[in-house]
A and B are shown apart, each in its own frame.
Chain A
């Protein structure tokens, strides 16, 4: 009897928890990676670089949001706070003390994780709408306060002084966007890699368990609050990296835009459009929405003509009504159908 159990345990342990991905998906992954690496030399115009830099950046931001919402099931409407902390940390350190943004990047991540604890500990135990509204309100409060905080430039924000002496030390590239491109690609790849690992880790499974069945998860001894706060911290640190990078890319901090609820909402819309809770959904959402807004800006001119947002809104509404699991699930369904009814 005991040996039976032991043998079954051995058998269960030897079985891979995650089957090897099929050949076609590995091939697709390699092809995407290769084309991303080669992209800046195939398409050489600054605009085509700019477009993919933005897609990569927003893919990272949406993935960070996805860690909280897709994995732990809490809808945050205040993620712009962490984007702002990342941008302000590196910029303030550089402008006031001449410290390289590389250190600012780490400082921003630490500060964001601390802010996530400060916000998350009291609010993450609120369920559903109450948490969403609480984060929305905290987000707009932070914006109002920063806009009146003179030390960080108040409403007019901060400019990052141009420094041509050492581009890699000061993270400023004025002759080409290609270094920015590879930095964004690297940051996003690292972010997605970490989330990929996170999703298959014990911690990731616990998060998904408490998202789907909070009561059952709690009764199995998962400390819900601690797990959710930890997920919130990871997400905040990721968002902060995007913030630092964005500040170095545009070289100007505008709290009106940087901390607006629009940023929080756009990462949510992207994730849900692509497929929340999935690994590639946020990237797909960013790859759809960013070109939409950049091209509509070109075709319809600058401010005021907000065609892109109208299309955004309707697209999201349609996805929520007819495909709440996101566009990615359309592909998955197609693949499943082609392979027959195999589970």
Chain B
């Protein structure tokens, strides 16, 4: 096993991990705000990829152009989902919450299959294609740009949450809903905002993913599983935790695939989840 090969795996795992992290942070944010696991998270990623695909195929827009458009669409969808569905589930027992988001996931996936068939699609000639040579490494340009944009989105999210008044309101709501409400923070609006931001992140990740990944109705399933792992590793509700955990998962997946067996790479990640969750039930960076 040459050193170059391992470096190559590290680089691609790192870039993929940044996308996992951005998907996971939305999930984490939503859980932190209202203790609901969004089991339809992967389906929204799938919708974002299809949105980018149709804007490219019907509207002639390159994913880089449609990026803000898709992000806004997904953010709007997030606010709508909160107002239309999640708000009514907040006081239901946990089983109803799990089932509710599962019901949404099943309906969205089946709806996508109904409308667009289970075929695999690709965006064939995006502006960014080919690969660059960094020393001995070959790195796909789409992956590089996707990783960079995901990292930028992460930085923006981090600044928003820690440096703005609204962001502090979000954090306060996540910490203690009642106390935040007493302090005059509109917690209901914060929840809707949390959903909008969470799915907006998914919109960014999905658009970037669509430049180099197959687009099909079931595409979200595996990403959602990895996002669950990332959120559980990083600690539910922790933003930086999702970044570290997302990158860690990307690395474990890619190195595990290289060193053990590519077909078991997801199993290796799942085993990591089980090991961590059994040893440290609140995640590696859990705050409680």
B106 contacts partner chain A, Cβ-Cβ < 8 Å: yes
Bitwise interface map of A from 302 to 323 toward B, beta carbon under 8 Å scored 1, else 0? 0111111110111111011110
- CB contact between A269 and one of B93, B106, B117, B267 (< 8 Å): that residue: B106
Number of interface residues of B (CB under 8 A): 45
Given the complex of chains A and B, what is the CA–CA distance between A106 and B250 in angstroms? 42
* Given A126-B277, A137-B274, A321-B85: A315 touches B267 (CB 8 Å cut-off): no
> Is B278's beta carbon under 8 Å from chain A?
yes
A310→B114 contact, CB < 8 A: yes
- Given A122-B274, A268-B99, A321-B88: A130 touches B232 (CB 8 Å cut-off): yes
Which A residues from 120 to 167 make CB contacts under 8 A with B? 122-123, 126-130, 132-134, 136-138, 140-141, 144-145, 148
Dominant secondary structure at the A interface: helix
- CB under 8 Å from chain A, chain B span 26-50: 31, 37
Chain A residues whose CB sits within 8 angstroms of the CB of B273 once the complex forms: 133-134, 137
Question: A132 vs B278: C-alpha distance in the bound complex, in angstroms?
Answer: 13
A324 within 8 A of B: yes
B99 and A128 within 8 A (CB): no
Say whether chain B's binding surface is mostly helix, strand, loop, or mixed.
helix
Q: What residues on A are CB-neighbors of B278 within 8 Å? A: 122-123, 126
Tell me the minimal C-beta distance from B188 to chain A in angstroms: 17
When the two chains form their complex, are residues B225 and A312 in contact, meaning their CB atoms are under 8 A apart? no
- A144–B225 Cα distance when bound, in Å, is 14
Interface contact A320-B96, CB-CB below 8 Å: yes
Interface size on A, residues (CB 8 A): 45
Beta-carbon contact of A316 and B99 below 8 Å: yes
- List B residues 61-116 near A (Cβ within 8 Å): 85, 88-89, 92-100, 102-111, 113-114
* Shortest Cβ gap from B88 to chain A (Å): 4
Beta-carbon contact of B107 and A140 below 8 Å: no
Nearest-neighbour CB distance to chain B for A44, whole angstroms, equals: 33
Count of A-B contacts judged by CB separation below 8 Å = 134
Closest to A148 in B: B263
Q: Is B8 close to A, CB under 8 A?
A: no
Given A134-B273, A137-B270, decide whether A268 and B102 contact each other with a Cβ distance below 8 A.
Answer: yes
Given contacts A126-B277, A132-B98, A133-B232, contact A313 B108 (CB under 8 A): yes
The residue in A130, A138, A304 that gathers the most chain B C-beta atoms within 10 A of its C-beta is A130
Q: In the bound complex, do residue B114 and residue A305 qualify as a contact, i.e. CB atoms below 8 Å apart?
A: yes
| B274 and A265 within 8 A (CB) | no
- Bound complex: CA of A308 vs CA of B106, how far in Å? 10
User: Is A276 part of the contact surface with B, judged by Cβ < 8 Å?
Assistant: yes
The answer to whether A141 and B267 touch across the interface, beta carbons within 8 angstroms, is yes
8 Å CB contact of A265 from B102, B108, B110, B263: B102
CB of A69 within 8 Å of the partner chain = yes
Known contacts A129-B37, A322-B88; decide if A316 and B98 are in contact (CB<8 Å). Answer: no
A338 to B89, CA, bound (A): 29
Please state if B228 and A133 are interface contacts (CB–CB under 8 Å): yes
B130 at the interface (CB under 8 A from A): no
The smallest C-beta distance from A148 to any residue of chain B, in angstroms, reads 6
Assess whether B60 is interfacial by the CB under 8 Å rule. no
B106 pairs with A316, CB closer than 8 A: yes
Is the CB–CB distance between B94 and A128 below 8 Å? yes
Q: Is B118 an interface residue (CB 8 A)?
A: yes
Q: How far is A79 from B228 in the complex, measured between Cα atoms in Å?
A: 19
Of all A-B residue pairs in the complex, the 6 with the closest CB atoms, nearest first, are A313-B107, A316-B103, A309-B110, A324-B96, A320-B100, A313-B106
Besides A314-B103, A320-B92, 18 new A-B residue pairs in contact (Cβ under 8 A), listed by A number: A75-B95, A123-B274, A137-B229, A140-B270, A265-B106, A269-B102, A276-B95, A306-B110, A308-B110, A310-B110, A312-B103, A312-B106, A312-B110, A313-B103, A319-B99, A320-B99, A321-B89, A321-B92
| Residues on A facing B (Cβ under 8 Å) | 69, 75, 122-123, 126-130, 132-134, 136-138, 140-141, 144-145, 148, 261, 265, 268-269, 272, 276, 303-310, 312-317, 319-322, 324
